[in-house]
Structure 1
C-alpha cells in the first residue's frame, strides 16, 4: 500500500487546480480593483439635547437624550431626509445611492452623532455630510422653520414686559403723590388706584412667567450641528493587500473543495499510485497516451523510438520478471470495461516480445469487438471460433504477420454460444496445443463487466494482464475486476495503467532543460545511425533480433 502522506498526495495530484484557483481569484481581484477610484471620507457631527451645556444637568434629561440618539441616527437614513438632501444639493442620486455612501454612528456615552459620507469626490462628500446634518437639525422642534407660535409668544412677552414696566412706573408715581396729599379722600382714591395697578402688574408678571417658561428652549429634543464636515485632502487607506489576501484564500479554498468533490464524486483512476493502492504492487507500468497511426498498426513496429514503444518494452520486461520468461506462457488480456485499450496493448506487447526472438501467437477472443486482425492488416473468415466449433484446422486459422516471430489467430465467425464453447473441454485442448506451438500466447478478450469469457479463458492460461484506462475506469470497478480474477484460480496477474497523460507544464520539458537536451542528443544519434546503416536496420526489423 502507499505510505505517502495524504496531504502531500492531495497536493501532488491537485496542485494545478489549486494554482489555477489562486490565479483566477487574483486576476478577478485585480480586474475589480483596476478601475476603482480612491475614496474620500467626510464627517459632520451633531449634538442631541443641551444637557451638556447646563451647570447641573438633570438625570432625566440625560436619559431622554440617550433614547433620542438612535432615533435621530435612524432618521438620517430615511427617504424624506435623503430626498431633501438630494433636492437641496441638486444631486442626481436616489435615496438608495446616498444610503450606500452614508455611515451614521452614535458616539458611545455621549450626546454626539457622527454623520460620515464616503465618495470619490471629496468636495461632494463634505457637502452631503453637512446637508444631512442640517436636515436632521431641522427635524427638531426647536428649529422648525416658520414657527408662528414661537413668534407670537415672543411678541406677547414684549408687550407684557412693557405693561409691567409702565404699571410699576405708575405705582411709583402714585406713591410719591400720596406723600404730598393732605386730604383723606384724595389719599384713599390714590391708594385705591395703586392697589388696582398692583393687581394688574401682578397678573402681567404671572402671565409673563408662564409665557417665558413655554418659550424656553428644550434641553433634550433639540439638534444642533457642532462640527461641520470639511473636504478631506487624502483618500482613505487602501486595503489592496487585504483584498488580494482574501481573494487568494477564497480561490485556493474553492479549488480545494472542487478537488475534493471531483475526487469523491468521480473516483476514477488517474495515476499509478491509485492502482498501487488497490493492487498493493510496488510499481505499476504506465503507457502514455499517443496518437495511433492511421493504419492502426502497432506503434512498436512503426515507431520503435517513440516514448510509447519504450513503455511497451518496460511492460514486457516487468512481465518477464513476473513469470513471462518461462518456457511456455499464455496470458489473458482484459479490462473492467470496453474501450480501455486492450487490443492495442496486446498487439504492441506481442511485437515487443517477438522482437526478443521469442515466438508469439496472439488470439482474438474478443467476440464482442474483434479488432485484432485489423491492426495487423489481416482479413479472414476463419479464426478462433471455428477452432472451438471444430470447423477448421489450426493451420488454417493461424496467420502470419510482417514480423517473422509473430502469428495471429483472428476471431473468425462469431457463434451465438461462444461463452459455452469457452468453458468446454475443447477450449482446454486448444489452449494446450497453442502453448506447445509458441513461447508466448496472448488472448485478447472482452471486458470483465460485459462478458465472463475472460474468467473462463483465465483458467486455461498462466496469467492475466488487466488494462485500466487512466481518467476513465473507476477505482471500484477495477477493484471488483481484480477480485473476480483472483477468485478464478489464475496464476500471476499484472495491471497496466493505459493512456496516461503527462503534465502539460514541467521544468523537465522545457527546451533548455538538461533532460530535453539529452533526449535531443539521443534522438540525433539514433537518426544518424539509421541513416548510416539502412540495410542493418531493415535486417533488424525483419528478423526481430533487436537487443532493445
Structure 2
C-alpha cells in the first residue's frame, strides 16, 4: 500500500465519540484530516460514496474509527449513513444509544427499505442503520442481490455511506463488501495487529480487487509517536 500523503496525529482516547464530545481536540482534527484525504481521493471518474472500514482482527479500533469518521463527515454538511454491517458482533447501536430491533438484517431479509429501518441521531446529517437481529447467514445476506439493491438505495439517499465490517481475516463479510463499495480503509493497532494477519488481510482484499483508500494506524507507544494515528492515502 502506498505511503503518499502521510498524516499523523493523536490516537483515540477511551471516549469512543471524541469527535462529538471534544471536536476541537487534536484527535478530532486527525479524523478530519482523514476525511479530507478521502475527499481528495474522490473524483468524478472514481467517486467515493460508499466505503468499508475493517481490520485484520478484533480490538484494533475499526468501530471507533467508523463512528468518528461518520461524525466528521456529517459535521462537514454531508448526508451520512453509518451502517453496522457487523451482524455477528454489532456495536454501533450501543455507541449511538439506538434500538436494534430492526436494521440491516431486516432490510436484507424483508421488503423493508433503508429509509424505513434507518434511525436519525442527535447529530445533524448523521443517520444510522443498525445491524438488526442477528441472522443465521450474514455472509450470504451481504453477498445477495438484495445487498446490491440496498447499496444503490443508500447512495441515492445519502452523500456518504460507511460500512462498519467484521475483521477481514476472521470471516468473509468484509471481503464481500469491499468488492461492492467504492473504497476500503484498514485499521491496525500497535501491539494488537499481527504481521501475518495484516499480510493475509491485504491479500484477501487484493483478491476481490478492493480499492484501498489507506491504512489507519493507532496505538503507537514509543516516546516520539505515542498515540499517533497515521493515514497512508493512495
TM-score (norm 1): 0.39
For the 8 Å contact 1:287–1:496, the answer to whether it is kept is no
Distance 1:442 1:290 in 2: 19
Q: Once the 2 structures are TM-superposed, how far is the Cα of residue 455 of structure 1 from its aligned partner? A: 0.8
Q: Once the 2 structures are TM-superposed, how far is the Cα of residue 283 of structure 1 from its aligned partner? A: 4.3
Give the equivalent residue in structure 1 for 2:35: 316
Give the equivalent residue in structure 2 for 1:280: 2
Q: Structure 1: 5+ residue runs without aligned partners?
A: 1-278, 507-548
Pairwise mapping of residues 125-524 of structure 1 onto structure 2 (< 5 A)?
Answer: 279-286=1-8, 288-293=10-15, 296=16, 298-323=17-42, 329-390=49-110, 392-501=112-221, 503=223
Instruction: Give the 3-state SS of the residue equivalent to 1:500 in structure 2.
Output: coil
For the 8 Å contact 2:48–2:183, the answer to whether it is kept is no
- Between 472-481 and 423-432, report the one with greater CA deviation: 472-481
For the 8 Å contact 1:364–1:384, the answer to whether it is kept is yes
**RCO (CA 8 Å, sep 6+): is it higher in 1 or 2?**
2
Query: Can you list the C-alpha shifts for 1:322-368, whole angstroms capped at 9, x where unaligned?
Result: 22897661000001001100110001011111111111100000122
For residues 311 and 424 of structure 1, do their structure 2 counterparts lie closer, same or farther at Cα, with a shift above 3 Å needed?
A: same
Instruction: Give the 3-state SS of the residue equivalent to 2:215 in structure 1.
Output: strand
For residues 448 and 373 of structure 1, do their structure 2 counterparts lie closer, same or farther at Cα, with a shift above 3 Å needed?
A: same
Q: Once the 2 structures are TM-superposed, how far is the Cα of residue 472 of structure 1 from its aligned partner? A: 1.8
Q: Once the 2 structures are TM-superposed, how far is the Cα of residue 436 of structure 1 from its aligned partner? A: 1.1
For the 8 Å contact 2:47–2:182, the answer to whether it is kept is no
Q: Structure 2: 5+ residue runs without aligned partners?
A: 227-234
Query: Can you list the C-alpha shifts for 1:469-527, whole angstroms capped at 9, x where unaligned?
Result: 12221223212211211120223431110223461799xxxxxxxxxxxxxxxxxxxxx
In proportion to residue count, which structure has more helix? 1
Query: Can you list the C-alpha shifts for 1:292-345, whole angstroms capped at 9, x where unaligned?
Result: 23xx4x110110111211111111111112228976610000010011001100
For the 8 Å contact 2:74–2:126, the answer to whether it is kept is yes
For residues 451 and 415 of structure 1, do their structure 2 counterparts lie closer, same or farther at Cα, with a shift above 3 Å needed?
A: same
Distance 1:418 1:370 in 2: 12
For the 8 Å contact 1:358–1:439, the answer to whether it is kept is yes
Note the aligned Cα RMSD (angstroms).
Answer: 2.2
Instruction: Give the 3-state SS of the residue equivalent to 1:455 in structure 2.
Output: helix
Distance 1:493 1:484 in 2: 15
Q: Once the 2 structures are TM-superposed, how far is the Cα of residue 280 of structure 1 from its aligned partner? A: 3.4
For residues 454 and 310 of structure 1, do their structure 2 counterparts lie closer, same or farther at Cα, with a shift above 3 Å needed?
A: same
Distance 1:408 1:420 in 2: 22
Give the equivalent residue in structure 2 for 1:162: none
For the 8 Å contact 1:288–1:501, the answer to whether it is kept is no
For residues 454 and 416 of structure 1, do their structure 2 counterparts lie closer, same or farther at Cα, with a shift above 3 Å needed?
A: same
For residues 285 and 505 of structure 1, do their structure 2 counterparts lie closer, same or farther at Cα, with a shift above 3 Å needed?
A: closer
In proportion to residue count, which structure has more strand? 2
Pairwise mapping of residues 53-132 of structure 1 onto structure 2 (< 5 A)?
Answer: none
Give the equivalent residue in structure 1 for 2:232: none
For the 8 Å contact 2:167–2:174, the answer to whether it is kept is yes
Query: Can you list the C-alpha shifts for 1:21-52, whole angstroms capped at 9, x where unaligned?
Result: xxxxxxxxxxxxxxxxxxxxxxxxxxxxxxxx
Distance 1:285 1:455 in 2: 26
Q: Once the 2 structures are TM-superposed, how far is the Cα of residue 393 of structure 1 from its aligned partner? A: 3.0
Give the equivalent residue in structure 2 for 1:266: none
